[in-house]
Every structure is written in structure tokens, then in C-alpha cells.
Amino acid sequence: MISHVVAWTLREDLDRAASIARIRELLTGLTGTIESIRSLEVVENVAYPDKNSDVAVVASFDDLAGLDEYQVHPDHQAAAAEIRGLVTGRAAIDWER
């Protein structure tokens, strides 16, 4: 099983709640569209806003091939492009469990 986490810092000039809602809509909409997704959740930071990212996606895949399928899927690419316009920073980690 591969776990995939991407965390973002939102642009300060945009409405925080609206940006998080849009990211959630974009990414949760991929479930059922991209068959390799086993689970996917978009979470909002609730502590230490001066140190932590604002929002993250936590997803799981059976294997690296499934993660690769997700990464290159056109619907994911379109979502990622829109998300890039809402954020100023990104951090990611993928691990096997």
C-alpha cells in the first residue's frame, strides 16, 4: 500500500474557506474516476496556522503503479493546475506501508 500526502499553503489574497472547498471538490471528484485511488480525503489544518500548511490531501493506492496512474491522469493534471493557482507552497511525501 502506498500513502500519498500533499500539503499546501493557500494564497492569502483568496478566501480561505472557498479555496479549501474548491480543492476538496476538485480532488474528491477524482474518486471513482481514477480507478487506482483506494482512499482520498482532503483535510484542513486546525492548529498552529503560523507553522503548518493550510490544507492537504491524504490518499492511498495499492502500489507505485497506481500512484503513477493517478499522477498522470488528465483529470488529476487539470485539478493540479487549478490548485496551483490557489496556493503559494507545496510539500509532499509518499511512503509504503
pLDDT tens track of the chain, all 97 residues? 999 999 999 999 999 999 999 999 999 999 999 999 999 999 999 999 999 999 999 999 999 999 999 999 999 999 999 999 999 999 999 999 9
Q: Are 1 and 96 in contact (CB under 8 A)?
A: yes
Helix axes 74-84, 64-72, angle to 10 degrees: 70
What's the predicted TM-score (pTM) here? 0.95
Radius of gyration of the chain (CA): 13
Q: How far apart are CA 36 and CA 79, in angstroms?
A: 16
Residues 53-76 pLDDT 10s: 999 999 999 999 999 999 999 999
